[in-house]
Amino acid sequence: MTPVFLSRLLSTLVLWTVVLWTIFCGYEVGFFVMLSAVGLAGLWEFYRMLDHKGLPNFKIVGMLCGGVLLGGSFYYYNSVGPSRSYDWEMISLLGFLFTVFTRQIFKGLRDADPLPTMAFTLFGLLYVIWMFNFMNKIVYILPRGADQHATGQFYVLYLIVVTKFSDMGAYITGSLVGRHKMVPQISPKKTWEGFAGALAFSLLGSYGMFWLMPKHLSRLDWTHATILGLLLGFAAIVGDLAESILKRGTGTKDSGRFLPGIGGALDLIDSLLFTAPLLFFYLRAVIRVG
């Protein structure tokens, strides 16, 4: 076994151990810390990718705003409930605009890039933190159990498994039988065979999770498992391609070195940034949760 394979295997084992322990022990603060650490690491890597290309941004302001959104969301979801949390989210988004414009005012107009600086900073907050925060929303949109513990973390586990099965299916199928390029101008290695494999694997992951955890995923049935398996698989592909656009635009290969052998935090969550909002709104609009 090569050193790269060993480091990837070790990182994967450590990561899944932390995720599973946090989810099944029901320790809400630990779950929040884990999500926040990964989300903020992904945001930092996004800004560093911009730096690599020489694109202006207010990374410190962006990191502070991201931390405020994540921390405030956890407080509202945990203490107040989802009904008031959307007010906090709107306040946060307005606060982002106010803070970034204020930072630009103090910087002045000495250079010709005030609009790109503000735009890149705000885009990072929306693309990484705002979308990743749907993971936190999923935890609390489900009613608490009889013991008053949160139950939505099992849907987050379902989300992670289905999303990663999609990524795995795309890689395995594309590597073995991939012949027809999907979007070579964005990602030369992506193939239509890999696309089909991603949907097949995500569907398999959805069925497997529902079969293994029917009590924890009681709001789902086989029909929902089928629809979500396909929808989340498709969204995972879009999320992966979205980061490929960013990498190509900034001239970077990996977003960072968050996990040895795997890559950066943004590489880890790129697909989840698109699948998490989709699952959240499916739970609200179709299953009528929350």
SS (H, E, C) 23-48: HHHCCHHHHHHHHHHHHHHHHHHHHH
Confidence of residue 223 (pLDDT cuts 50, 70, 90): very high
Q: Are 65 and 125 spatial neighbours (Cβ–Cβ below 8 Å)? A: yes
Which residues, 6+ apart, have CB-to-CB distance to 157 below 8 Å? 19, 20, 23, 209
pLDDT score recorded for residue 263: 73
Whether the per-residue pLDDT at 2 is higher than 90: the answer is no
Contacts with 271 (C-beta within 8 Å, 6 or more apart), sequence order: 163, 164, 166, 167, 235, 236, 237, 239, 240
Please tell me which residue, 202 or 103, carries the higher pLDDT value. Answer: 202
**Confidence label for 86 from pLDDT (cuts 50, 70 and 90):** confident
pLDDT band at 252 (very low <50, low <70, confident <90, very high): confident
What mean pLDDT is predicted for residues 194-217? 94
More confident residue, 187 or 205: 205
Residue 99 has pLDDT above 70, yes or no: yes
Burial profile 213-232: b = 16 or more Cβ within 10 angstroms, e = fewer: beebbeebeeebbeebbbbb
Please check whether residue 132 is in contact with residue 274, taking contact to mean a CB–CB distance below 8 angstroms.
no
Residue type, position 59, single letter: K
Task: Band the pLDDT of 258: cuts 50, 70, 90.
Answer: low
Q: What is the mean pLDDT of the chain?
A: 86
